[in-house]
Amino acid sequence: MRIVLALGGNALQSDTKDKSSESQLKTCKETAKSVVDLIEEGHEVSIVHGNGPQVGQIVATVETAYKANKENTLFPFDVCGAFSQGYIGYHLQNAISEELEKRHIDRSVDTVITQVIVDKNDPGFNNPTKPIGSFYSAEEAKSLTEEKGYVMKEDAGRGYRRVVPSPRPIDIVEKNVIKAMIKENFIIIACGGGGIPVVRDGNEVKGVAAVIDKDFAAEKLAEILDADMLLILTTVNNVCINFNKPNQRQLSVVRVEEADKYIKEGQFAPGSMLPKVEACKKFVQFKEGKTAIIASLNSAKLAIQGESGTRFVR
């Protein structure tokens, strides 16, 4: 089975307090076991990962250096996203390669630094909402707006932060490279952090300051690869309605019309479960016979076997 696997933040950094490189590598080695379980079963797996904490750390480090000395380079956000793809991909591909070797599976793993095309007229550009990087004083925020054109918003009384838009992906620049590598039996890590957002300008593609949700990027990759399954791995075993209420209920199978009903009722948190549900719904509508599942990282194998997770059907 051809599977596109979307890894949530817990697959990269399980200790929310320790955001060090060492902690990430340790978590990646645990994550690799679940990934290789699927490969060992004979599935063809391509991997998409998030980058929320990591790109935030990179941006904050760059901004701190800039605050200290204005001669330091304030790298643009798309470049910081590329940094995070290389950093996380390096850890994941080495961890997966190590686990494959332990099990005597002869496969190669590689990371593709991936640009994802968005529409420059996407409505998300009219309402930047994704906070990134450091906190600033009102005076510093005003200066960055004037000097760099940043959109700065006050964040819960803690200061001002830069916010960027979150447009939807429409295509992947490196899709032919990814397809060719998969044909040669490579295990591919692509669209990291949702991909580097770019817009077409004539014959050029230009990076933009934005964040593409990794679940939507994974869904787009699954369409392009004509995958059989989109598997989104997170911290919970099932999607729930009435979450954290006395009448909370786990969902095992969700039809598209049921998903629409729950979305309309506001059952899923916008920055958390909602994009996962919407990505799954979009993938099963893409073509007859497609399956999408949301499950916990530790239950990936069981989810494919239908023994865990929430399965979306057309």
By the 10 Å C-beta count (0-12 exposed, 13-18 middle, 19+ buried), 247 is classed as exposed
Angle at 256 between CA 253 and CA 259, to 5 degrees: 75
Contact (Cβ atoms closer than 8 angstroms) between residue 218 and residue 275:
no
Rounded distance between C-alpha atoms, residue 123 and residue 105, angstroms: 46
How far apart CA 79 and CA 71 sit, in angstroms, is 18
Structure tokens at 246: 């006395």
* Ramachandran sector of residue 262 (left: φ over 0; alpha: ψ -120 to 50; beta: rest): alpha
Residues 45 and 134 both lie in one domain: no
* One domain, residues 133 and 93: no
Q: Which residue out of 89, 130, 195, 281 is catalytically annotated? A: 130
User: Are 153 and 14 in a shared domain?
Assistant: no
> Out of 214, 220, 281, 290, which one is annotated catalytic?
214
What value does the mean pLDDT take over residues 242-246?
A: 91
Best CA proximity match to 281, nearest among 237, 239, 234, 314: 314
Same-domain check for residues 11 and 154: no
Q: Do 137 and 172 share a domain, yes or no?
A: no
Q: Is 10 a catalytic residue?
A: yes
pLDDT given at position 83:
95
- Mean pLDDT for 96-105 is 98
Q: Which domain holds residue 30?
A: 2-119+168-312
- 9 among known catalytic residues: yes
CA distance 142 to 129: 18
- Residue of 10, 175, 193, 282 marked active site: 10
In this predicted structure, what is the pLDDT of residue 53? Answer: 81
Structure-block tokens of residue 205: 């593609």
Q: What average pLDDT does range 4-30 have in this prediction?
A: 87
- Let me know if residue 58 belongs to a domain: yes
Whether 203 sits among the annotated catalytic residues: the reply is no
**pLDDT tens-digit readout, 264-293:** 999 998 878 999 999 999 999 999 999 999
pLDDT, tens digit (0-9, with 9 covering 90-100), for 202-241: 889 999 999 999 999 999 999 999 999 999 999 889 999 9
* Sign of CA pseudo-dihedral 133, 139, 143, 145: positive
Interval 27-33 mean pLDDT: 95
pLDDT in the model for residue 255: 95
Which pLDDT belongs to residue 82?
96
pLDDT band at 159 (very low <50, low <70, confident <90, very high): confident
174-199 mean pLDDT? 97
**CA within 13 Å, CB half, 190:** 29
Hey, how many other C-beta atoms are within 10 angstroms of the C-beta on 225? 20
Region 7-20: what's the mean pLDDT? 80
Residues 90 and 157 in one domain: no
How high is the pLDDT of residue 277?
97
User: Which of 93, 96, 98, 95 lies closest to 112 in space, CA to CA?
Assistant: 93
User: Positive or negative, the Cα torsion across 264, 265, 269, 270?
Assistant: positive
Residue 193 has pLDDT above 90, yes or no: yes
Q: Which of 48-57, 91-100, 303-312 is predicted least confidently? A: 48-57
Averaged pLDDT of the chain: 92
pTM, to two decimals: 0.91
State residue 227's pLDDT score.
98
Going by pLDDT thresholds of 50, 70 and 90, the confidence category of residue 119 is very high
With bands split at pLDDT 50, 70 and 90, how would you rate the model's confidence at 19?
Answer: confident
In a domain, 247, yes or no: yes
CATH code of residue 82? 3.40.1160.10
- The three-class DSSP label of residue 283 is helix
Residue 39 pLDDT class (50, 70, 90 cuts): very high
Q: Using CA atoms, how far apart are residues 91 and 89, in angstroms rounded to an integer?
A: 5
Is there a catalytic annotation at residue 276?
yes
More confident call, 73 vs 265:
265
Q: Do 98 and 40 share a structural domain?
A: yes
- DSSP per-residue string spanning 28-43: HHHHHHHHHHHHHTT-
Report if residue 124 sits inside a domain. Answer: no
Q: What is the pLDDT of residue 129?
A: 80
Count of structural domains, the chain: 2
Residue 109 lies in a domain: yes
pLDDT over 80 at 15, yes or no: no
Residues 87 and 147 in one domain: no
> Residue 259 domain-assigned?
yes
Residue 236 maps to a domain: yes
Q: Give me the phi and psi of 244, to 5 degrees please.
A: 65, 25
**Catalytic: which of 175, 220, 276, 290?**
276
Q: Could you tell me the CA-to-CA distances from 246 to 173, 239, 241, 242, 243 in Å, in that order? A: 46, 16, 11, 8, 9
The mean per-residue pLDDT over the stretch 239-244 comes to 92
> Does residue 142 sit in the same domain as residue 106?
no
Please enumerate in sequence order all residues whose Cβ is within 8 A of that of 51, keeping only pairs 6 or more positions apart, or say none: 81, 84, 85, 88, 192, 193, 194, 214
- Same domain, yes or no: 172 and 307: yes
Residue 139 forms part of a structural domain:
yes
What CA–CA distance (Å, rounded) separates 116 from 127? 20
Same domain, 54 and 192: yes
Q: Tell me the mean pLDDT in the region 109-127.
A: 95
Q: How far apart are the C-alpha atoms of 36 and 47, rounded to whole Å?
A: 11
Whether residues 225 and 157 fall in one domain: no
pLDDT > 90 in the chain, percent: 69
User: Among residues 164, 191, 220, which one ends one of the domains?
Assistant: 164
